[in-house]
Amino acid sequence: MTMTTPLRAAAALCLAGSLTLTAAACGDDGSTGGGSEGEGAGSITFWDNNGGVRTPVWKEIIADFEKAHPDIDVEYVPIPINDVQSKYDTAIAGGGLPDVGGVTTSYLANMVAQDALEPVGGRIEDGSLKGVLAESMTESVRAAGGRGDEMYSVPTSANNGTLWYRTDLFEDAGLAPPTTWDAFHDAAEKLTDKEDNAFGYTIRGGEGSIAQALDAMYGQSGITEFWDGEETTVNAPENVAALEKYAGLYGDVTPEADVNNDFVKMVAQFDNGDIGMLSHNLGSYQDHLKAFGEGGFAGLPQPSGPGGKRVQVSNPVDGLGLFKSSDNKGAAWKFIEFAAAHEANSAWNESAAQIPANSEAAQDAWVKESARDNGAFASLTDGSTEIVQLPYYLPDWNNISKTDNEPAFQKVLLGEMSAKEFLDAMAEQLNEARAEWQEQQ
């Protein structure tokens, strides 16, 4: 069959149109540049990167801020956490960025690379936040930005990996809290009764599975560095053995459906079924409280590995970014300073059950109570844990730790791929990404 001339022309037109659109979609109008200090008053826009869940506490903080600064209005915009990166990327490419936005270290490098964020190191030094931000978190923010010592966000909170367990099930089985990996595996086995639909553990096999697998892997192997020279340690023999053991939990002591578990399904399974343990973070505390009530569950830091050493991977640090395109940076910075100051930072973190970045807020009574009730709250800062710093600064990190490898990890769980094959492939991607990043520096 041959095409007539008009049809050929139409096909060419459509092709040209598609290519033009593609080019336009990939283009940048330079809208991230410019901006000005403004008059330090007027209206500013704030995008909450975890909109909805944190909306009530942000509205309280904004109301307090507007009371303290009657000449500034804050327009609050809640953005769903799952889509915040695409929202930022679209606004970076097409314009319309806010003045202030919530930014975590997991995608900070990507935004810095697109020149969207204003450096804030100088403003911190010259303002009220000097010396009050937790050093470990400012270090994470510096490292994640990937531009030397410069900071591109003001840290506000950190999360920490937590092993949640059902105290009632442990007591009934006569088990002690799983503070070591050996105790963890033992408890997972003893709490499993498949015929009764009871399982010792729920594993994350779907979205977000890689960070959790890496956490369990480094925790059991005891390796404390992500890089050994120019090469990653993810496929070191100790890590391969640790991942084999971790993936071996699937199906034996976990539900079969776990292969598709994202955190929502995983937490829902734990809260609504007979599952002994769950690895998540401090953030799901309220969900467990609703499900089991006080005393029905407890949280522990990462179990200890070989030689009693506790090792875990770093968690993203949440913060507030000042956007370069803002025409009212003066007012926007006042808002950031207010939100990261003692009172607001404490209120936000208490509501979110996370660790405050403001060192004065970290001394508040609720923080000490939380640390007493849950060792995971304190383990990040009390020196008991060695942290393997994940390379958030690699622009490819998000792809490598999510879309590129999550399906392959499901194959490992299902026994269709070995842990070694999986880790070797991931190591190759990481080494390439690091080499590419180094070339760009």
Using the CB atoms, write b or e for 174-209: b if 16+ within 10 Å: ebebbbbbeebbebbebbbeeeeeebbbbbbbbbbb
Whether residue 324 contacts residue 34, with contact meaning beta carbons closer than 8 Å, is answered with yes
Whether residue 77 contacts residue 58, with contact meaning beta carbons closer than 8 Å, is answered with no
Q: Is residue 335 a contact residue for other proteins (CB under 8 A)?
A: no
Figure out which of the listed residues 16, 25, 63, 173 binds other proteins, where binding follows CB under 8 A. Answer: 25
Number of CB atoms found within 10 A of residue 55's CB: 13
Figure out which of the listed residues 138, 153, 156, 159 binds other proteins, where binding follows CB under 8 A. Answer: 159
Joined together, the tokens standing for residue 203 give 């594993």
Q: Is residue 81 a contact residue for other proteins (CB under 8 A)?
A: yes
Q: Which of the stretches 6-14, 63-71, 230-238, 389-397 binds other proteins when contact is defined by CB under 8 A?
A: 6-14
Figure out which of the listed residues 93, 113, 241, 408 binds other proteins, where binding follows CB under 8 A. Answer: 93
Q: Is residue 293 a contact residue for other proteins (CB under 8 A)?
A: yes
Q: How far is the CB of 228 from other proteins (least distance, A)?
A: 31
Strand partners, 45: 75
Figure out which of the listed residues 36, 128, 197, 286 binds other proteins, where binding follows CB under 8 A. Answer: 286
Query: What gap in Å lies between CA 403 and CA 296, rounded to an integer?
Result: 36
User: In 3-state terms, what secondary structure has residue 436?
Assistant: helix
Figure out which of the listed residues 34, 80, 407, 415 binds other proteins, where binding follows CB under 8 A. Answer: 80
Figure out which of the listed residues 33, 34, 56, 407 binds other proteins, where binding follows CB under 8 A. Answer: 56
**Residue 405, phi then psi, degrees to nearest 5:** -120, -10
Between 19 and 173, name the residue whose CB sits nearer to other proteins: 19
Burial class, 331, CB count within 10 angstroms (exposed 0-12 / middle 13-18 / buried 19+)? buried
Q: Is residue 341 a contact residue for other proteins (CB under 8 A)?
A: no
Q: Is residue 73 a contact residue for other proteins (CB under 8 A)?
A: no
Q: How far is the CB of 147 from other proteins (least distance, A)?
A: 25
Q: How far is the CB of 240 from other proteins (least distance, A)?
A: 29
Query: What gap in Å lies between CA 170 and CA 164, rounded to an integer?
Result: 12
Between 264 and 435, name the residue whose CB sits nearer to other proteins: 264
Joined together, the tokens standing for residue 113 give 């690379």
Q: Is residue 45 a contact residue for other proteins (CB under 8 A)?
A: yes
User: In 3-state terms, what secondary structure has residue 42?
Assistant: strand
Q: Is residue 182 a contact residue for other proteins (CB under 8 A)?
A: no
**Residue 218, phi then psi, degrees to nearest 5:** -65, -35
Mutual orientation of helices 419-440 and 406-413 as an angle, nearest 10°?
160
Figure out which of the listed residues 41, 53, 113, 427 binds other proteins, where binding follows CB under 8 A. Answer: 53
Mutual orientation of helices 406-413 and 209-221 as an angle, nearest 10°?
60
Site residues, other proteins (CB under 8 A): 4, 6-7, 9-11, 13-14, 18, 21-22, 24-25, 27, 29, 45, 47, 50-56, 75-83, 86-87, 90-91, 93-96, 98, 159, 263-264, 267-268, 272-273, 280-287, 290-293
